[in-house]
Amino acid sequence: MFSNKKGMSMAIQIFIVLFVLLAVAMLVLRLVTEQSEQQMKIIGEEIKQQELKRIKADCLSSCKCNSENEKVGYCLTMIRKGKATEGELDLDGDGFITSYSEPPEAGGLYGVCEDKIYCSQLANCKCGEQILDMRNCFKVICNFWTKQNADIPSLMAKFFPDPNCDMTDDQMMSHWSFYYANEMTCE
């Protein structure tokens, strides 16, 4: 009988040791997983910052100031899939370009829909004393179109359509088209 109790006691001790080892292994695994996730997040942010720097450089390479035509061209240049051409950029990193975002690159003044981002929202083109940011771009574009006797309302609707991304009413009030509504009238 004594050896049976000793065997049972040994089995309980082995079970306790195995349970403690399992708990420690789970804790270590959790810590490693959390650190890996943090490192992946940091690496992702660094990649995103490098991509934004490259995009800004692409935008600034399209910054030409020799004529009104070139200035208007810069102001209408958009970003597409990481290139300064047609207006798409995944700023929030969710894999889609349907979101509203308030990029710090925009100076925190306004938000954008990821499917329509202009170079002048991320990179200011310096033309001598004039800086082509979004506000000044509207002035340059309006002056140019006015001199051309163009149909300004239809051109504004074509080049600066209403936002179509998913956003709340509060976000709508912060979207650049609302923020710059007065400048977009060319009056």
pLDDT digits 0-9 by tens, 79-133: 865 554 445 677 777 777 788 888 766 555 578 888 888 888 888 899 989 999 8
pLDDT at 93: 72
**Distance from C-alpha of 31 to C-alpha of 16, rounded to nearest angstrom:** 23
Give pTM, 2 decimals. Answer: 0.71
**Distance from C-alpha of 119 to C-alpha of 70, rounded to nearest angstrom:** 14
CB 126 within 8 A of CB 175: no
Give the number of C-alpha atoms closer than 13 A to the C-alpha of residue 108, restricted to the C-beta side: 0
pLDDT digits (tens, 9 = 90+) for 139-171: 899 999 999 998 988 888 888 888 888 888 888
Burial class of residue 187 (count of CB atoms within 10 Å of its CB; 0-12, 13-18, 19+): exposed
Taking residues 173-180, what's their average pLDDT? 83
**Distance from C-alpha of 130 to C-alpha of 168, rounded to nearest angstrom:** 35
Average pLDDT over the chain, rounded to whole? 82
> How much of the chain exceeds pLDDT 90, in percent?
23
pLDDT at 10: 84
**Distance from C-alpha of 168 to C-alpha of 150, rounded to nearest angstrom:** 34
